[in-house]
Amino acid sequence: MNQRINITLKLFAQYREGNFKVEQRVCKSGTTPQDIIDELGITKHLPLGILMVNAKHENEKYVLQEGDTLSLFPKVGGG
Amino acid sequence: MADMIYRVNMATMSFKIEDVPADWMGLGGRGLTSVIVASEVDPECHPLGPNNKMVFAPGLLSGTSAANSGRNSLGAKSPLTGGIKESNVGGTLAGIMAKLGVKALIIEGIPEDDSTFYHIHVSKNHVKIEAVPNLVGKDNYFVLDAMEKKYNKKVAVMTIARPGEMKMLVSNISVRDPKGKLRSYGRGGLGAVMGSKKIKCITIDAENYKEVTYANSDKFKEASKIFTKSLKDNPISGEGMPAFGTNVLVNIINEAGALPSRNFRTGNSENAEKICGETMAENIKARNGSTTHGCHAGCVIQCSQTYNDKDGNYLTSGFEYEMIWAFGANLGIDNLDTIAAIDALMDDLGLDAIEMGVCLGLAVDAGILKYGDGEEAFRLIKDEVPNGTPIGRILGAGTGYLGKLYGLVRVPVVKNQSIPAYEPRAIKGQGVTFVTTPMGADHTAGYAVGSNILNVGGTVDPLKKDGQIELSRNLQIASAAIDSTGMCLFIAFSAIDDPVCLPALIDMLNARFGTTLTGDDVTNLGKMILKTERAFNIKAGLTSADDRMPEFMKYETLPPHNVTWDFTNEEIDEFWNF
Ligand code: SF4
């Protein structure tokens, strides 16, 4: 279980402040979006709005796979 | 004094002030404009002929102290769709009309002498119509300046520019906002209807009005407080929208693979990062602009902004996602400043940003300009369209006609109105709204992007058909009702997510009018409006066959999800079973 996977991590709107827009990461296999959210601490001030993996909505417990793109947004809207 | 109906006849150059008929009494905004158009306009009339009418009506709560209540509706038969149209706008108009006691302003007929254009000035118990030869051939800001000089800085102004005078289908009607900039009755070619009646501008007196009255002002204040707090506490209307404006959507919709690009060929744009709301907010900050601006007094959300150029000089405001999408993703211009300059130009010329932008996206397929060529797009809009040159006329007729003239198949319109900013194949609930709304492809008619993408009001998988018809139906019913209150649609984020918001809105209505409306009454109002509009369209010759997506979306798969528009006709027609 100490296999590593490569993922792309993208942050949007207020989550970018003090962080980054996009980053390539190597993580342990079995990593979930929740692990990444906890590590970044981004939801302390603004709750999670939208979580997408490879352009599809997923939840925090999804198990990330090699090559996945994870996109995180606070609650935002427009129209 | 009771509210009255102001009726202006351009054929006889006269006006009448009438009592409000009993069955119009409880209506405002879209509910009132659609009911009046349906009862007074022959659905088979030529939209630019003598028998079409323009009906302006403030919302039921406009003019009150309620937050975000300053939207004004305009109804008519649309020359673009051939069906009924309601378009609504912020600016100072709704509040001023309501305080003057104008329940609706109805304009009918066409002047015999069509050698000039006219200015209509509405004041308490009076309407003045005068020829304004000196304004003919001028554009919006010129007219705005002239009216501010003639009256004062507060006067409400509605105006058309040269494209409206020429009755182009991409023309809109512009309305003055509190800062002296412009907002618009954007869609459906309503500028052409105003042009057909030879009306250059309409002003509403802002000096001699009375404040609106309340049946129970204490109750109103109480409900209004709850309502305002709900909007401010909501993470979307309270934080996201003021910080990034509606343009925050570029990245989200792009990430979801649903940002129509290259005339609806893919759901991703390589330009997203350059044109997104985050980049826009950075530019605004660095250039001393402002991310917050309300399109009318009393807006507590302030999704609008002031966008400056590199030297810190004002470039544009009201810089919306749909505009930026049309020129940035669909037409491929990768520079926000260029898009902002086009936005400002189109404000002055009174052009519908969506219709014009989608039309230019299609013009790339027609070989008229190259993908991403912002300079040429600017030139076409500045030099060809408003001068009515042959190519200007062609582009000024909108996407549907351009497609026909050039023999194109991939023409993204429903009921001849351009599809905005959300790829229907990849946000299927929004697609249902585009095909079923009586308005032609219009995103505000039932914003399914909320539950399909934004996780607002539940979650419905955007790539599946399940639940989409019902979702769109419920949203369209709610939107028709909200459009009648004068509320900006962005209250919906709070109305859907916060259980105190909608009851507070209904309490405000009851406290204003002394009524005992319930949630069910509001839903029934929404249903009545939709059915009235649909009935008008059927008499006008629009059938179920017009509730359809352009065929290419049924056989062409859209990357990255490789999806098609796969609803059957029977599934779509189910929409109207209510
Ligand atoms: S939220 Fe935006 S559209 Fe709505 S009233 Fe405020 S500025 Fe106007």
Whole-number Å distance, alpha carbon B217 to ligand 1 midpoint, is 25
Rounded Cα gap, residues B296 and B307, in angstroms: 18
Question: Looking at per-residue confidence, does A79 or B162 come out higher?
Answer: B162
Give A-chain residues touching B235 at CB under 8 angstroms. 46-47, 49, 74-75
Give A-chain residues touching B249 at CB under 8 angstroms. 76-79
Return the domain boundaries, chain A. 4-74
Asked if residue A72 has pLDDT above 90, the reply is: yes
- Nearest beta carbon to residue A13 from set B248, B447, B461: B248
Beta strand ranges found along B494-546 (DSSP E): none
Contacts of B289 (CB under 8 A, 6+ apart): B283, B305, B306, B307, B308
Asked if residue A79 has pLDDT above 90, the reply is: no
Task: Return the amino acid letter for B457.
Answer: G
The whole-chain average pLDDT of chain A stands at 94
Report pLDDT digits (tens) over B211-255: 899 999 999 999 999 999 999 999 899 988 999 999 999 999 999
Contacts of B16 (CB under 8 A, 6+ apart): B6, B7, B9
The whole-chain average pLDDT of chain B stands at 96
For tokens 């079409």, the residue is B52
Does A49 lie at the interface with B, CB-CB under 8 angstroms? yes
Which residues share a beta bridge with B58? Answer: B72
Q: What pLDDT shows up at residue B240?
A: 86
Whole-number Å distance, alpha carbon B475 to ligand 1 midpoint, is 19
Report pLDDT digits (tens) over B15-43: 999 999 999 999 999 999 999 999 999 99
Domains recognised in chain B with CATH numbers: 4-205 (3.60.9.10), 243-423 (1.10.569.10), 424-497+516-578 (1.10.599.10)
Q: What pLDDT shows up at residue B1?
A: 61
Which residues share a beta bridge with A26? Answer: A6
Percent share of chain B, pLDDT over 70: 100
> What architecture (CATH level 2) is domain A4-74?
Roll (3.10)
Question: Is residue B440 classed as helix, strand or coil in its secondary structure?
Answer: coil
- How far is C-alpha B156 from the chain's CA centre? 18
Reported ipTM: 0.96
Ligand 1 neighbour B318 (Cβ under 6 A)? no
Q: What pLDDT shows up at residue B545?
A: 97
Q: What pLDDT shows up at residue B556?
A: 98
Asked if residue A45 has pLDDT above 90, the reply is: no
pLDDT < 70: residue spans in chain B: 1
Ligand 1 neighbour B487 (Cβ under 6 A)? no
The residue nearest atom 4 of ligand 1, judged by CA position, is: B488
What global pTM score does this model have? 0.97
> Rounded to the nearest 5°, which phi and psi values hold at B14?
-135, 170
